[in-house]
Amino acid sequence: MKLWLLRPVNRDHMGADMAHGFVVRAATEAAARAMAANDSGDEGAVFWTDAKRSRCAPLLAQGAPGVVICDYVQGADTLL
């Protein structure tokens, strides 16, 4: 299994109630995209299966130091 990082190609139109990224454990890119699609928000499932709208790349241990993904909820009083 690999870890996959999924992010929007263009974040200009990403808003509230939309997933802005995923880190997924899956055997293939197609499986990773399907898992992200299953957990999509208002952007819709097709967003994460469409390579023109979202990037999906293996998450490697090598690379520059930095935050990989930040899960942030704005304006929510409580989480379910």
Provide the residue ranges of all domains of the chain, joining segments of one domain with +. 2-9+21-58
Which runs of E-coded beta strand occur in the chain? 2-8, 22-26, 54-58
Say whether pLDDT at 49 is over 90. yes
User: How many other C-beta atoms lie within 10 A of the C-beta of residue 26?
Assistant: 17
Find the mean pLDDT for residues 56-77.
79
Sign of CA dihedral 73, 61, 43, 40: negative
Q: Enter the pTM of the model.
A: 0.80
Report residue 12's pLDDT band, with 50, 70 and 90 as the boundaries.
confident
Question: What tokens does 2 get?
Answer: 């690999």
Buried b (16+ CB within 10 A) or exposed e, 45-55: eebbbeeeebe
Q: Is residue 32 predicted with pLDDT exceeding 80?
A: yes
pLDDT tier at 75 (50, 70, 90 boundaries)? Answer: low
Burial of 31 (0-12, 13-18, 19+ CB in 10 A): middle
